[in-house]
Amino acid sequence: MSYKKILSTYNDGIARITLNSPNNLNSMDYSLLSELSEELDQCEKNANVKVIVLNGAGKGFSGGGDIAAMYKSIEEGQGFSQLIEKAAEVALKIKKLPKPVIASVHGPVAGAGFNVAIACDICIAAENALFLQAFVKIGLIPDCGGVYLLTRAVGAAKASELALTGKKISAREALDMGIVSEVYKKEELEEKTNKFALKMAKGPAVSYKNIKELIYKSQFSDFEEYLKEEVRAQVECSKTEDFKEGLKAFLEKRQPKYIGK
């Protein structure tokens, strides 16, 4: 497949998918999410793929949504339902894929990027990784299954703190919370991830498939229904003046006027 915003390679039973739009910190726009969704389908169909590694090119894994593009769409009177639905689709595919998906993250892991990372089965981080649920800062809710996945990863109280405040957490803090499984120096991340992925690629594929299915049934069986509610709520938020003000404030590098009201 030929893509514009992701790269994909296949070797030793490992599919490596790289978010490849570094000029805007691999923003999760509709194009990138569509390509990622298509490549996940290809990985599922390819019998030679035993495990998937998802990482990001440039300075970080993903900075989340493309704020400038969002503001332009709002000014032009366009909606966001297709983008939000595509984000939900990606999260669901990762959870239901019958093969292990490993996120290997560094630098900013923000917004939808954060939630794609925690949708993966295992998340490995560089020491410089910085996680944040940035949505509230522009008047939105976490998408890509964010609230659902985060509450299961860290519990309702800590998820509330992260989602309601947009607080930044370091890789070490994420490790302590159970969001990531390992933290390495930035220069070691690729080597350590590849070593782990290669070990998994040599493992029992049928066992992996059934383990993922059972985990999904025990912890995520209503995820698909939740995502429908998430899309509804995000569309509602995207129509507010708070959202427009949040985008404008971000672009103007100031605090939104609704903060403190």
Amino acid at 198: L
pLDDT value at residue 13: 98
Q: Average pLDDT for residues 130-139, to the nearest whole number?
A: 96
pLDDT value at residue 71: 81
Structure confidence by residue, pLDDT tens digits, 162-186: 999 999 999 999 999 999 999 999 9
Is 19:112 a contact under the CB 8 Å cutoff?
no
Q: Average pLDDT for residues 35-56, to the nearest whole number?
A: 98
Which structural domains are found in the chain, ordered by start? 6-186 (3.90.226.10)
pLDDT-based confidence at residue 259 (cuts at 50, 70, 90):
low
Q: Average pLDDT for residues 135-150, to the nearest whole number?
A: 96
* Residue 18, beta-bridge partner list: 7, 55
Residue 261 pLDDT exceeds 60: no
Cα angle 30, 36, 42; round to 5: 140
Residue 68 pLDDT exceeds 90: no
Is 247:138 a contact under the CB 8 Å cutoff?
yes
pLDDT value at residue 72: 79
pTM of the model: 0.95
Residue 157 pLDDT exceeds 70: yes
Task: Evaluate the CA torsion angle 106, 110, 116, 122 in order and state its sign.
Answer: positive
Structure confidence by residue, pLDDT tens digits, 72-102: 777 777 777 889 999 999 999 999 999 999 9
pLDDT value at residue 2: 84
Q: What is the 3-state secondary structure (H, E, C) of the chain?
A: CCCCCEEEEEECCEEEEEECCHHHCCCCCHHHHHHHHHHHHHHHHCCCCCEEEEEECCCCCECCCCHHHHHHHHHCCCCCHHHHHHHHHHHHHHHHCCCCEEEEECCEEECHHHHHHHHCCEEEEECCCEEECHHHHHCCCCCCCHHHHHHHHHCHHHHHHHHHHCCEEEHHHHHHHCCCCEEECHHHHHHHHHHHHHHHHCCCHHHHHHHHHHHHHHHCCCHHHHHHHHHHHHHHHHCCHHHHHHHHHHHCCCCCCCCCC
pLDDT value at residue 44: 98
Is 80:235 a contact under the CB 8 Å cutoff?
yes
Q: Average pLDDT for residues 202-225, to the nearest whole number?
A: 97
pLDDT value at residue 199: 97
pLDDT value at residue 218: 97
pLDDT value at residue 69: 81
Amino acid at 13: G
**Rg of the chain in Å (alpha carbons):** 18
Q: Average pLDDT for residues 122-151, to the nearest whole number?
A: 97
Is 142:162 a contact under the CB 8 Å cutoff?
no
